[in-house]
Amino acid sequence: MEEEFSVDPSQLLEAASEFAHNPGANSDASAQEFLTRFPLPAIINALQTEAEYPGLENALVDCLERVFRTKYGASLIPHYMPFVLVGLGADSQKVKRLACVAISCLLENTDKRIAVQLVLQYGVYPLLLSCLIDGDEQVATASTVAITKLAGYPEGMGIVFPASINEATHLGNLAAKSSSLGRVRVLALIVKLFSISSSVASEVSKSNLLSLLEAEVRITNDTLVTLSVLELLYELAEVQHGIEFLSRTSFLQLISSIISNEAAESILRSRAMMIAGRLLSNENAFAFFDESSFRTVLSAIDRRFEFLESQDADECECALEALGNIGSSLQGAALVLSTSPPPARHVVNAAFEHHHHGKQLAALHSLGNIAGETRPEKSMLLNNNAEENLRRLIYEKASRTSKLTPSGLLLSVLQQDSEIRIAGYRLLTGLVSRPWFLVEIISKPEIINIVTDTKTETNKIGMEARHRCCEAIYKFFMSSNKLIDNPAFTEIASKLQEAIKRGPYLARKQGEYQPVVKTAERF
C-alpha cells in the first residue's frame, strides 16, 4: 500500500507549494487536477512518513487546506474520516489545525444530516474539545470554528449541548477540569456559540453556561483571567440578541461592583465601564433592564469619576465614553441628564477643558451622543427635565470660563486640531435641534465661517462631519419662523445653503480655476 501511494517528496513539495501559493481562490477543477497528479492517499502517506523532509509538512498542510476548501475537496472528506481522526490526535499542531479545518469544510459542504452523523459515528466532537483545550492558539481557533459550525445545525445542537450535566463533553465539566487558559478558551467558545443565533443563545442559557462567566468575574485574584472574561463580556454585549439573555443574569450588578471597587486594577474598572456602556446603549435595553439597573451603573460611574477627576486619564476617558454610550439612546440620555446628581455634568465639564486632549475628545463625542447626533431627528429632543438640565449645565460651564457663552465654548472647540473639530461638528449637529442653542450658533459669525469653509478640513471624515453640521444648522434654521424672518440672518442662510450645495469634498466655485494657455516652444 505504501509503495502504491509513494511519491517523490521533492516533486510533491514543489507541486504542493505552487498550489498553496496560487493567487486567488482555487477552483474545483484545479483541485481535481492536482489530486489526479498526486492522489490524496499519496499525500496523506507522505504527510505521515516524510514529516522530517524540510518544508514538506508546511507545504502539504497549506495545500490540503486549500483543497478541502473547494467543493470537490470537501466531497472527499467523508471517505477519509480515519485520516481526519488521526490528524485531530497528531503531535503536530499544524496537522491538528488542518484536521479541524477539514471538519469545518465537511460541515459547510456536506448534507447537514450526513455531516453530523459522521461527526457522531467517528467520535469527532471530544477530539475537537481536546484540540480546543490542549492545542496552540491556531488549533484552538480552528477547533472553535468547527464546533460553532456544528452547533449552528439543529442536528448538531444535541452534540454540543448534551442533555445531561454529567456528560464529559458538557462545557461546564470541561471548564471545571481545565487550567486557567483552558477555562478562558471554553468561555470564549461559549461566547461564540451564544452569538450564532437566538436559538443557540437560548441553549447556552438553558445549559447554565453563562454562569461560568459570572463565576469568573466574581474571582478577581487573577487580573489577566478576569480581564480576558471582561473582554468576552464585551463581545456578548455587542451581540444583537444578547441583552435579552444577559438581563436574566447578575452581570450588570457584577459590572457595577467592579466599577465601584477601588481595590481593583484600573484596567478592570475601565473595561467594566465600557461593557456597561455598550450593554445599555441599545434602546432595547429598557425592555429588559429596569430603570434602577441603569441608575445603579450610572451612580457607580459617577462616584468613580469624582475620584478620578485629576488622576487616571485612561480610566477617566473610559468613564466618559461609557456615559456617552448610555446617553446615545433616548431614555439613556434622559437618565444621564436627570439622575441626581446628573452624571452628564462630568461630560459637559470635560468637553470644554483644553488641558487633556484625550479626555476632551472623549467628552465631546459623548456629549454629541447625549445631544442626539446618533439618534433619528424625532428622537433628538429629550423630556423637559432632561432638556433643562442640559441647557443649564452648558450655560453654567460657559459662565465659569472666559468664553462666557455656549457659542464661545463651541468656537474654542472649532479652533483646535482636526480631531477635536470633528467631535465639535458632531456636537453642533446634535445641539442645533434646540432653539436656544441654534440662536447661539447663528449669532456667532465666526462659527458659521468655519463650518462653511470647504478648506477647513483635509480628510474625508472631517469633510463629511463639517458638511453634515452645515446641513443640520441650515435645516433647523429654515424650520424656525423667528430666525428665518429676521433680515439679519439672511446672509447666513445663503452662506449655509451654498456650502451644502458645494458638497463635502472641497468643491470649488465655478470659475475659480482659470485655464493657463501656453504657446508651444519651437526649436
Lowest mean pLDDT among 221-230, 304-313, 351-360: 304-313
Q: What is the pLDDT of residue 397?
A: 93
Q: What is the pLDDT of residue 484?
A: 66
- Please, which residues have CB within 8 angstroms of residue 65's CB and are 6 or more apart in sequence? 20, 98, 101
Residue bearing cell 468643491: 507
229-246: burial string, b at 16+ Cβ within 10 Å, e else:
bbebbbbbbebebbbbbb
SS (H, E, C) 338-365: HCCCCCHHHHHHHHCCCCCHHHHHHHHH
Lowest mean pLDDT among 154-158, 241-245, 429-433: 241-245
Nearest to 237, CA basis, from 278, 187, 272:
278
3-state secondary structure of 219: coil
User: C-alpha grid cell for residue 180?
Assistant: 486557567
For residues 26 and 241, which has the higher predicted lDDT (pLDDT)? Answer: 241
Q: 214-225: per-residue pLDDT in tens?
A: 988 887 677 888
Where do you find CATH 1.25.10.10 in the chain?
1-160
Q: 163-191: per-residue pLDDT in tens?
A: 888 888 999 999 999 998 999 999 999 99
Question: 287 vs 279, 290, 331, 376, 413, CA distance in Å?
Answer: 13, 8, 11, 19, 37
The amino acid sitting at 517 is: V
What span, in angstroms and rounded, lies between the C-alpha atoms of 169 and 178?
12
Residue bearing cell 465639535: 424
Please, what is the average pLDDT of the chain? 87
- Average of per-residue pLDDT across 347-372: 91
What span, in angstroms and rounded, lies between the C-alpha atoms of 27 and 388?
64
Are the beta carbons of 55 and 89 closer than 8 angstroms? no
The amino acid sitting at 67 is: V
DSSP code of 190? H
Q: Is the dihedral of CA 260, 261, 265, 271 positive or negative?
A: negative
Lowest mean pLDDT among 142-151, 324-333, 376-385, 447-456: 447-456
For the CA atoms of the chain, what is the radius of gyration?
30
Phi, psi of 420 (to 5 degrees): -65, -40
Q: 241-280: per-residue pLDDT in tens?
A: 888 888 888 888 999 999 988 888 888 889 999 999 988 8
Q: What is the pLDDT of residue 310?
A: 53
Are the beta carbons of 481 and 437 closer than 8 angstroms? no
Is residue 519's pLDDT more than 70?
no
Percent of the chain whose pLDDT exceeds 70: 92
Are the beta carbons of 93 and 139 closer than 8 angstroms? yes
Is residue 196's pLDDT more than 80?
yes
Nearest to 219, CA basis, from 264, 181, 187:
264
Q: What is the pLDDT of residue 506?
A: 63
Where do you find CATH 1.25.40 in the chain?
402-506
First CA to last CA distance, the chain:
82
- Please, which residues have CB within 8 angstroms of residue 35's CB and are 6 or more apart in sequence? 67, 73, 76
Q: What is the pLDDT of residue 455?
A: 83
Are the beta carbons of 411 and 424 closer than 8 angstroms? no
Nearest to 26, CA basis, from 75, 80, 71:
71
Give the range with max mean pLDDT: 17-26, 297-306, 479-488: 297-306
The amino acid sitting at 257 is: S
CATH 1.20.1070 fits 402-506, yes or no: no
Q: Say what the pTM is.
A: 0.81
Question: 430 vs 52, 59, 240, 469, 513, CA distance in Å?
Answer: 65, 56, 26, 9, 36
Are the beta carbons of 54 and 101 closer than 8 angstroms? no
CATH 3.40.50.2300 fits 1-160, yes or no: no
